[in-house]
Amino acid sequence: MSAPAGRKTWQAVQAAVRARISRRDWKPGALIPHEAELAQEFGCSRGTVNRALRGLAEDGLLERRRRAGTRVALNPQRRAAFAIPLIRDEIEGKGQQFAARILTREMRRPPPDVQARLRVAGAAPILWLETLYTADGAPYVFEARWINTHAVPRALDADFTVISPNEWLVREVPFDSGDFTVSAMAADGRSAAVLGCAEGAGLLVLDRRTQHGAQIITSVRLVFHPGYRMHTRS
């Protein structure tokens, strides 16, 4: 859009509103003019203003309610989007050599907490994989994964030395949602040995669960090398 003099695109309106909020022309909690009014002021249609404000509301900067109008959020920044690392890309993106080594692959009966997490009944053995990912040979992240082979029997025939479990699953298995949890742990003997770090080091842990409908496909725990950081990409 070539931005003719007075005419505003929704991005321009959004930027203008953002500026007013951050300049405190409109203070937290205050009601701002309604869409029609802003449309007139900015010389654009109400649709354009709506688009701009909707985006700001999604970012948590505004709170909108029908009939009640739009007000500046009292407490912005309730959420932050973190980039979920795609191990291979992350390592190769730094110009380092990516490698994956499977440490364990066996059928194992999930402990009770994993049974709950995977929503599998009883203790029938399912596929258990441990993989170490390295960057230029240095341990980068240790992955421990359960694959619900009741839901994905084909996983039993996959050759994970050729394609990583994650890449195989993404490519082969339908899924529709998932959830993440971030926590921290002190390196125990095993983690320290695998990651080649001191026992007791602080390690960032990312648990990810992937599901298709009501069924849980897989549950992974990524334990990162000491010093690893995740940050907002926005």
Partner DNA sequence: ATCATGTTTATGTATGCACATAATAGCGAG
Partner DNA sequence: CTCGCTATTATGTGCATACATAAACATGAT
Residues that bind a second copy (CB under 8 A): 18, 21-24, 28, 74-84, 86, 170-171, 174-176, 178-187, 200-205, 212, 224, 226-234
Q: How far is the CB of 122 from a second copy (least distance, A)?
A: 27
The candidate with the shortest Cα–Cα distance to 48, out of 26, 20, 17, 22, is 17
Residue with tokens 């409908």: 213
Q: How far is the CB of 92 from a second copy (least distance, A)?
A: 14
Q: How far is the CB of 31 from DNA (least distance, A)?
A: 8
* End-to-end CA gap in the chain: 24
Q: Which residues make beta-bridge pairs with 212?
A: 215
Q: What is the C-alpha separation between 146 and 126, in angstroms, rounded?
A: 7
3 state SS of 192: helix
Which residue lies nearer to DNA by CB, 2 or 198? 2
Does the footprint of DNA cover residue 45 (CB under 7 A)? yes
Choose the contact partner of 108 out of a second copy, DNA, none; CB within 5 to 8 A by kind. Answer: none
Does the footprint of DNA cover residue 96 (CB under 7 A)? no
Does the footprint of DNA cover residue 66 (CB under 7 A)? yes
Q: What is the C-alpha separation between 71 and 56, in angstroms, rounded?
A: 11
Q: How far is the CB of 229 from a second copy (least distance, A)?
A: 5
Q: What is the C-alpha separation between 185 and 199, in angstroms, rounded?
A: 11
Which residue lies nearer to DNA by CB, 66 or 229? 66
Does the footprint of DNA cover residue 18 (CB under 7 A)? no
Which residue lies nearer to DNA by CB, 24 or 34? 34
Residues composing the chain: 234
Please name the amino acid found at residue 219. S
Q: Which residues make beta-bridge pairs with 64?
A: 70
* Sites of contact with DNA (CB under 7 A): 1-2, 7-12, 34-36, 43-48, 50-51, 53-54, 57, 64-70
